[in-house]
Structure 1
Amino acid sequence: MNDPTNSMEPTEDPKEPATRNEAVYANPAEIFASCGKPYVTFRRRHDPTVVDYLTHLAPTPARVLDLGCGPGTLALDLAESGMRITAVDASQEMLNEGRTWAKRRGVSHAIEWRCADAATLGQVDRLGTFDGAVIADAFHWLDRPRVLRALDTVVRPGGFVAVVGYRAPQTQREWWHPLLVKLREKHLGAADLAGPSTPYIRPEVGHEAMVRASPFNRVSVLRADYRRVYTLDELVGLQRTFAYSSSATLGERQEAFEADVRSTLSVLQPNGLFAATLQAAVIVGRRPESR
């Protein structure tokens, strides 16, 4: 979907859900139910250019808040680069996977895990003050104005807020994306879902415009090309990491859906390799008085 929130891994963005104001979900922890283990297995880490850029936004060792952290896809990379991370997510399942992954990568000492809805950030006790905050491929799931106001209370003067996406707005989709959209429609209907039972809420305003309207309105943007090659097994597994095609969302339809994905793509790409050139985006906001 070529829209202002188009900032995900291949096939992550719903196609054209109904437009509303901001994402306010009654049960945010349910959105990625069943996605924890597949997320660690099939989601790719962020491009090194993005990680390197983020690690130079504040002096080391910076204390950084990661909102909507999932299992720590970005948090662990930042921890390995010397940052001290407080990782917040509404899903305990995601946090449990993150703790296991952090231990395996030897960075458990550098990450504190908190189970909380990002919208209630101001109510999380004793978070303290941060040198910056990152929101990686999660901003479109959040009540963005409320989150940015809350960050204004916990990010120190001179600190930053960075909205990170695997895909910059208006970049071209992979050739296989529309095929996967049609297969989802076949098995789930035309509506895009935020987990097993909730419609996806499409934000009306792009992420950059939202940051510019916040206290962090001195904005800079990084866009970086990178190339990814997926195997057929990876693309099939990747579908389990998305809120609209997770195991919890598909239920008893999962086996048939994945068989359709496998058979359709294997006919069109017999060598089983699916290459794409993508463009990541990092939107960094600071307060006007920052120097």
Structure 2
Amino acid sequence: MNTPADHPPTSTPHGEDLLFGAAADEYARFRPGVPEQVAWLLADAVKGVPDLTLLDLGAGTGQVAAALLPALPRITHLDLVDPSRAMLREAFVILRPLMGNRTLSCHEVPANQFTPQRPNYRADLITCCRAFHWMNRPAVLAMADQVAAPHATLALMGDGSLWTHEADWTTVLKDLIRSYLGPGRRAGSRGTYTEPSIRYEDDLADSAFSDVSQHLFRFPRAWTPQQVIGYLRSTSFARADLFAERHAEFEAEALHLLEGHADDSGRLTEQVDFTVLLARRPGGTA
């Protein structure tokens, strides 16, 4: 297997490490993985493709690849794209035991700036999970059109966050966060977060990948209060530095609140809607 990156990492010129990179360890430990049924859906979407190249955009700490590598033994090359060097280092450690003879390349750039390092490069499956809303979406889709094989499948997927999930315990948790950080949803050091005004489906309709099917997976996800606290450290809306010297105070109050809302087994339940948009060029089949 090759080294963690196609070229030595450099200091991040885009400031993107400031959004999630400082919490890469918590991200790897506490962010939920990609459900197995989603991995099998993606494997079926490319079932006719041998020697497959997977391009994962906004790869984070490698959750998509970790789910897909066991389900898709035909993956021969994996490209992880993320602007955070810290995230890519965590991903490399996590994925190394799963790689076997497959090759892995890490690209420390925003998704729209991905440039293949291999001649005649063609991605058969392009994935983006829980990250497309942070990207220059038209530019990413234009880049994908340049590097995708004619039969390629593009998968945009995600399940929101504990900020978007509606339950008694998430409501009081958001109220607590707001009491410390103000009424708006924070977006790291960028200020407050604004929901995209255009749906992903509309982005895809205006792109080369306009043949779209939607797939929804619903299931419960259980958290312990301590897991929720760890998860919050990995988010753009409740990471530690946003609270400055009050972070320990916030975590103690949040833990007490979450323990009070846990069930008899000490668990907090989230009802997950995990959505996958599978997109191809019109007439393209795997």
TM-score by length of 2: 0.84
Give the one of 88, 98, 101 matched to 1:95: 88
Separation (CA, whole Å) in 2 of partners of 1:176 and 1:92 = 34
Give the one of 112, 119, 128 matched to 1:119: 112
Percent identity of paired positions between Structure 1 and Structure 2: 25
Determine if the alignment matches structure 1 residue 43 to structure 2 residue 31. Answer: yes
Determine if the alignment matches structure 1 residue 132 to structure 2 residue 125. Answer: yes
Determine if the alignment matches structure 1 residue 275 to structure 2 residue 269. Answer: yes
Aligned to 1:66: 56
Q: Which blocks of at least 5 consecutive residues in structure 2 are unaligned? A: 1-13
Post-superposition offset of 1:106: 5.3
Post-superposition offset of 1:64: 1.2
Evaluate the alpha carbon distance shift between residue 156 and residue 73 of structure 1 in structure 2; reply closer, same or farther with a 3 A threshold.
same
Which letter maps to 1:183?
Answer: L
Q: Is the 8 A contact 1:47 1:226 kept in 2?
A: no
Evaluate the alpha carbon distance shift between residue 172 and residue 29 of structure 1 in structure 2; reply closer, same or farther with a 3 A threshold.
closer
Give the one of 158, 177, 201 matched to 1:208: 201
SS in 2 for 1:176: helix
SS in 1 for 2:45: coil
Aligned to 2:247: 254
Evaluate the alpha carbon distance shift between residue 60 and residue 243 of structure 1 in structure 2; reply closer, same or farther with a 3 A threshold.
farther
Separation (CA, whole Å) in 1 of partners of 2:244 and 2:99 = 35
Evaluate the alpha carbon distance shift between residue 215 and residue 106 of structure 1 in structure 2; reply closer, same or farther with a 3 A threshold.
closer
* Farther off after superposition, 88-97 or 43-52: 43-52
Post-superposition offset of 1:270: 5.8
Aligned to 1:19: none
Which letter maps to 1:268?
Answer: H
- Describe the superposition over 1:49-70 as per-residue Cα deviations: whole angstroms up to 9, x where unpaired: 1011011221243211000000
Q: Is the 8 A contact 1:35 1:240 kept in 2?
A: yes
CA RMSD of aligned residues (A): 2.3
SS in 1 for 2:21: coil
Aligned to 1:232: 225
Larger Rg: 2
